[in-house]
Chains A and B, each alone.
Chain A
Amino acid sequence: MADSIARPATTTTRRPRGRRPIFRFAGTYLILLIGAAVAIVPFLYTISVSLMNLTEANGGAWLPSSPQWRNYINAWNEANFSLYFWNSIRIAAITVTGEIVFCTLAAYAFARMEFWGKNLLFSLLLATLMLPEAIIWVPNFITVSWLGRVGPIPWINNWPALTIPFMASAFNIFLLRQFFMQVPNDLWDSAQIDGAGHLRYLLRIVIPLSKAAIMTLVLFGFIGTWNALAWPILVTTTPAWRPITYGFFAFIDEAGSQFNLQMAGSVITMTPVIILYFFTQKTFIEGIATTGLKG
């Protein structure tokens, strides 16, 4: 210990760096590559099985002898994917639009405005994050069917039940509030001098400055809607508004042991989200990292 302090600092720091990097990085890369392989192999296997013929798929082959592209057409037609695809897109579009409007307004109020009961309302909002999904199934199902039976339009098997309950979430409001709070105060002062009110300031300055946050919200909203399963099972008894996740879940049973068709359906279900992810992965991962840490 005393020796190492007595020696010039440069030698102690340089020596391990100078000699070891090849071994060290070789080991590092090996572990990292094993991790990457574990992460990616199930996806490759999905694609592989989706291109097999029936005997190969059920016989436990690893690779198709000749790719059977027809599997995709068959799966698409058998599972009625065109309807489910369109449904999921419609549901996602409505939910995300509502989310942007509602959550932006609420997040702005929490970030920039002074009003009585702010802390109380904010903690009530955050408390909803702890509720398990299981506790809201029964009450929300009853509420939604009640609203549909007394209101002008049905809610079950229709868009309201699938979209309206998800238009404002504590998580999104929290995320946007974090970003809005980072907008410098000077901008608000100068906007006020120019005679702008809160709404104009929000629309003209805060939103354009928080494009990245809103993009994150759109992505989360889209993927969350695409992935929902429990709630769509409860509120879609007919295929009319059934989203793709539920459609594919039902198809797993229908296709039975036709693993090649199952996997073709799986690829169809996953592709939009994965494409979206690859195009926006930077925004996405950073969004997760920042909100995850600050949450």
Chain B
Amino acid sequence: MSDAFLTGQDASARPAVRTPDTTARRGLLAGRQGRRVREALLAYLFLLPAFLVVGLFGLFPLIFAAFMSTHRGLNRIPGTFDGLGNYILAIGDLTYFLGFWGVVVLVFLALQAVGRSATAARDKGSPFWRWAAPGIAFGVMIAAWLGWLIRLLPLLLDIPNQMRGARNTPENFRRLLGEALATPATTQLLWLTLAALIVGVVSAWIVMRNRHHRIHYANYAGSFTLATILIGVAALIGWLTWAELQSNITESLASGGGLDIGSQMILISAGFLLLWLSWRLWQSASRRDSMVSVMLRLGGAAMLIIGAWVLVAEAPRIIAQGDAKWWNALLATFYYSLGTIPPQLIVALVLAVLLFQEIRGRSFFRVIYFLPYIAPFVGTAAVFKIIFSSRPTAPINSILSFFGLPSQAWINEPAGILNLLTPGLQLPAWSAGPSLALIVIMIYGVWSFFGFNTVIFLAGLGNIPKEMYEAAAIDGAGRWPQFRYITLPLLSPTLYFLTLYSVIGTFKAFNHIYVLRTGAALGTTDTASVVIFQTFQRDTRYGYASALAILLLLVIILLTIVNNRVAAERVHYG
């Protein structure tokens, strides 16, 4: 600012000396730009170590796991290519369903990205479609680079096998690495990456050069890049699904069996479509007047019932095709999530509201409540294993016998809770609810996390302005109305955060479940993470474990989206 002012003064004072002035100005501009470039370079240098670690051990694993999940082999890395075989093994024909709808969703997202920024560009009156060339070129560049990475992976993974024994020298490694990098299959993609980069830079430069007006000028290449990558991924998934379908059809025709993929596909899709439609109807019903609203709600309910019925009717066939262990794991994870989150949130909310008063010993209680969360879980889980052990003299059983109740096997009990509560009738395993052993793990989960939730709730309560309560008290609102109409709505962001955090947390949960699992519980406590760990560590089925992990990630993403959708209507950011 002051520099520009100074130079302007200079120019007006000595208009005769023109050349040094312009060079000075240019030099100033270069200096300023140079400073920005230097700052950016320094920033990249600062980020380098962290991103080396995060990139190699946090982001790259996602691509690597996707790659491994298409390979098969016991204790072999990477094993032989098997397409979507691992997914078929885990969830049966649902794979085709997921593949098909995955492609549809990705293409939709790509179109949406382009459409959105096209609208934004039109509103601002800036050119949009000329950004397509550089955007697509950059997208191709990233896709080609990822392809190069994936082609290079098996070659890199083979290097250690060629370096056994005496040949394990740095020189040999460098030679093998050079060979892997120079393979035609990889260099092709590397050249494609480079070519796309050049095309992108040149076309971006042309677009920037030809700009007519500087006002309202924005860069829309990003949406095209995103769309290109999404369509690339969609094409890859589509190709894998199609190839798997083809081989499946040939196989079943050769063995003379019929095909039910088509009918299943249509039925499941119709089921989900009906559920979605009923949800939309229900939503739009709330905006209409009473008669139409009732009709819409009835229609929605009917669709819900039909959709759910179709899905329920179709479920046994789908489940029978997949891996029973994996379905049980998902069911156990679902039970664990459902049995842990509501109790821990309610307990924490009650305790937080009670603590958030003018009482003595607030910090004392807070410290105590937080202790289970902070204590090493192996230690506390070991105690729970003893407290809830099946011996008749164990603490919980001795309390039961004090009240004259029969002792239970607790942590070793594989039977479902409903079967234990109603000894008369024997329900089949899938409808008997979580096993008693899983209930013990839920109790442990609530015990160890309620303090964490209490602390977060307390922080959320602290953010609610005191004036609200004073105003409500003046209006004569009692404690319950104050809680219902002030605390709860203003606490909803915290509640939403904790719900999302706990849902993701319970679906990721591994450590304490792994410590608390017993052989006698017959795998009824094995949640998704535990099954993945066992598949990997005990069975050394790397490809299958990766496929299961990717499926778990899909479940988590889906839950996050659902949670966001539900919360968007209810969370009140006051």
B485 at the interface (CB under 8 A from A): no
Please report the C-alpha to C-alpha distance between residue A105 and residue B62 in the assembled complex, in whole angstroms: 25
Known contacts A12-B473, A285-B366, A292-B459, A229 near B378 by CB under 8 Å:
yes
Give the distance in Å from the alpha carbon of A267 to the alpha carbon of B393 in the complex: 22
Judge whether B383 and A102 touch: CB under 8 Å: no
The count of residues in chain A whose C-beta lies closer than 8 Å to any C-beta of chain B is 106
Asked whether, in the complex, the Cβ of A227 is within 8 Å of the Cβ of B61, the reply is: no
Q: Are A125 and B515 in contact (CB under 8 A)?
A: no
Q: Which of B20-60 contact A (CB under 8 A)?
A: 36, 39-40, 42-44, 46-47, 49-54, 56-60
Q: In the complex, are the beta carbons of B370 and A281 less than 8 A apart?
A: yes
Provide the residues of chain B in CB contact with A110, threshold 8 Å: 47
**Stretch from B188-196, B243-251, B295-303, B502-510 at the A interface:** B502-510
Cross-interface CB contact of A277 among B371, B384, B494, cutoff 8 Å: B371
- Out of A35, A102, A133, which one reaches B369, CB within 8 Å? A35
Is B53 touching A137 in the complex (CB atoms < 8 A)? no
Asked if B528 is at the interface (CB within 8 A of a chain A CB), the reply is yes
Q: Is A23 an interface position by the 8 A CB rule?
A: no
Is residue A240 within 8 Å, beta carbon to beta carbon, of the partner chain? no
A130 and B57 within 8 A (CB): no
Nearest-CB distance from A65 to chain B (Å)? Answer: 16
Chain A positions 13-47 with a Cβ under 8 Å from a chain B Cβ: 13, 16, 25, 28-29, 31-32, 35-36, 38-40, 42-43, 45-46
CB distance A38 to B476 under 8 Å?
A: no
Query: Which residues on B sit within 8 Å (CB–CB) of A295?
Result: 497
Q: Does B391 count as interface, using CB distance less than 8 angstroms?
A: yes
Contacts A128-B58, A233-B537, A252-B382 given; does A39 touch B532 at CB 8 Å = no
CA gap between A164 and B58 in the complex, in Å: 12
Give chain B residues whose Cβ lies under 8 Å from the Cβ of A273. Answer: 374-376
Beta-carbon contact of B374 and A277 below 8 Å: yes
Q: Does A193 contact B (CB under 8 A)?
A: no
A245 at the interface (CB under 8 A from B): yes
Q: Which of B92-100, B210-218, B338-346, B549-557 contacts A (4 or more CB under 8 A)?
A: B549-557
Also in contact, A289 and B372, with CB within 8 A (given A12-B476, A269-B378): no
Specify which chain B residues have a CB less than 8 angstroms from the CB of A142 in the assembled complex: 64, 68, 77, 157, 542
- Whether A121 pairs with B51 at a CB distance below 8 angstroms is yes
> What residues of chain A lie closer than 8 Å to B380, measured between beta carbons?
42-43, 46, 266, 270
Selecting from A1-9, A66-74, A181-189, A206-214, the interface stretch reads A1-9
Given contacts A131-B58, A146-B160, A233-B537, contact A58 B393 (CB under 8 A): yes
Please report which residues of chain B, range 504-545, place their CB below 8 angstroms from some CB of chain A when the two chains form the complex.
504, 507-508, 510-511, 514-515, 528-529, 532-533, 536-537, 542, 545
Residues in B with CB closer than 8 Å to A114 are: 36, 39-40, 43
Are B359 and A28 interface neighbours, CB within 8 A? yes
Q: Name the interface residues of B544-566: CB closer than 8 Å to any CB of A.
A: 545-546, 548-550, 552-553, 556-557, 560
Chain B CB within 8 A of A178 CB: no
Is the Cβ of A31 less than 8 Å from the Cβ of B350? yes
- When distances are taken between beta carbons in the complex, the residues of chain B under 8 Å from A36 are 365, 368-369
Cβ contacts under 8 Å, B383 to chain A: 42-43, 45-46, 49, 263, 266
Given contacts A43-B375, A132-B529, A150-B160, contact A289 B455 (CB under 8 A): yes
User: Digit string of A132-147 for contact with B (CB within 8 Å is 1, else 0)?
Assistant: 1111111111110110
Q: Tell me the chain A residues, 71-115 only, with Cβ under 8 Å from chain B.
A: 101-103, 105-106, 108-110, 113-115
Is A153's CB within 8 Å of the partner chain B?
no
Q: Is the CB of B545 within 8 A of A137?
A: yes
Using C-beta atoms within 8 Å of the partner chain, give the interface range for chain B.
35 or more
The answer to whether A138 and B549 touch across the interface, beta carbons within 8 angstroms, is yes
Of the candidates B46, B62, B514, B542, which one forms a contact with A131 in the assembled complex, judged by CB atoms under 8 Å apart?
Answer: B62
- B58 & A269 in contact (Cβ 8 Å cutoff): no
Report which of B157, B163, B398, B452 forms a contact with A60, defined as CB distance below 8 A. B398
Residues of A within 8 A of B150 (CB): none
Cβ-defined contact, A270 with B549, below 8 A: no
CB of B239 to closest CB in A, whole Å:
23
Inter-chain contacts of A131 with B (CB < 8 A): 58, 61-62, 553
Tell whether, in the assembled complex, residue A105 and residue B49 are in contact, meaning their CB atoms are under 8 Å apart. yes
Docked pose: A143 CA to B153 CA in angstroms: 10
8 Å CB interface, B55-114 against A: 56-62, 64-65, 68, 77
Q: Determine how close the nearest CB of chain A comes to the CB of B156; give it in whole angstroms.
A: 7
Q: Is A191 an interface residue (CB 8 A)?
A: no
Other-chain residue from A173, A262, A270, A289 in contact with B456 (beta carbon distance below 8 A): A289
Contact B552 A135 (CB under 8 A): yes
The CA-CA distance from A59 to B392 in the complex, in Å, is 9
A118 to B501, CA, bound (A): 25
Instruction: Report if A196 contacts B (CB, 8 A).
Output: no
Which one, A136, A138, A143, A267, contacts B542 given CB within 8 A? A138
Chain A residues within 8 Å of B467, by CB: none
**A101 in contact with B49 (CB, 8 Å):** yes
Instruction: Assess whether B6 is interfacial by the CB under 8 Å rule.
Output: no
Please state if B365 and A134 are interface contacts (CB–CB under 8 Å): no
- Closest chain A residue to B366 by CB distance? A285
Task: Give residues of chain B (466-519) contacting chain A, Cβ–Cβ below 8 Å.
Answer: 470, 473-476, 478-479, 494, 497, 501, 504, 507-508, 510-511, 514-515
Task: Give B91 Cβ to nearest chain A Cβ, in Å.
Answer: 16
In Å, the complex CA distance between A125 and B58 comes to: 9
Give A40 to B367 CA distance when docked, in angstroms.
Answer: 11
Check if A40 sits within 8 Å of B377, measured CB to CB: no
B378 to A132, Cβ gap below 8 A?
no
- Choose among A106, A252, A285 the residue that contacts B46 (Cβ–Cβ < 8 A): A106
Contact between chains at A59 and B393 (CB < 8 Å): yes
Cβ contact within 8 Å between A227 and B511: yes
For A62, what are the chain B residues with a Cβ–Cβ distance below 8 Å?
A: 395
B319: CB under 8 A from chain A?
A: no
Q: Which residues of A contact B546 (CB under 8 A)?
A: 135, 138-139
Residues of B within 8 A of A167 (CB): 49, 53
From known contacts A137-B532, A273-B375, infer whether A293 and B47 are also in contact, taking CB-CB under 8 Å: no
Q: Are A293 and B61 in contact (CB under 8 A)?
A: no
Contacts of A241 in B (CB 8 A): none
Q: Is B159 interfacial (CB 8 A cutoff)?
A: yes
Question: Contact string, B330-354, partner A, CB cutoff 8 A, digits 1/0?
Answer: 0000000000000000010011001
State how many angstroms separate the Cβ of B529 from the closest Cβ of chain A.
Answer: 5
Q: Across the interface, which residues of B come within 8 angstroms of A43, CB to CB?
A: 371, 375, 380, 383
Q: Which residues of B contact A159 (CB under 8 A)?
A: none
Is B508 in contact with A132, judged by CB distance below 8 angstroms? yes
Shortest Cβ gap from A112 to chain B (Å): 9
Flag if A230 contacts B378 (CB, 8 Å). Answer: no
Contact, CB under 8 Å: A32 / B528: no
B65 contacts A138, CB within 8 Å? yes
How would residues 270 to 292 of chain A score, 1 for a CB under 8 Å from any chain B CB and 0 otherwise?
10011001100110110011101
A214 CB to nearest chain B CB (Å): 15
Pair A293/B459 contact, Cβ less than 8 Å: yes
Closest 8 interchain pairs by CB?
A60-B393, A4-B476, A139-B64, A106-B50, A139-B61, A115-B40, A289-B459, A168-B50
- Residue pairs across A and B with Cβ atoms less than 8 A apart, 8 shown, are A114-B36, A118-B43, A134-B528, A136-B61, A168-B52, A169-B54, A282-B363, A288-B456
Q: Which residues of A contact B (CB under 8 A)?
A: 1, 4-5, 9, 12-13, 16, 25, 28-29, 31-32, 35-36, 38-40, 42-43, 45-46, 49, 58-60, 62, 101-103, 105-106, 108-110, 113-116, 118, 121, 124-125, 127-128, 130-143, 145-146, 149-150, 152, 164-165, 167-170, 173, 197-199, 223, 226-227, 229-230, 233-234, 245, 248-249, 252, 259, 262-263, 265-267, 269-270, 273-274, 277-278, 281-282, 284-285, 288-290, 292-293, 295
Known A-B contacts: A134-B552, A248-B379, A277-B370. Give 11 more (CB < 8 A): A32-B351, A43-B380, A60-B392, A60-B398, A106-B51, A130-B557, A134-B532, A134-B548, A198-B42, A288-B456, A293-B463
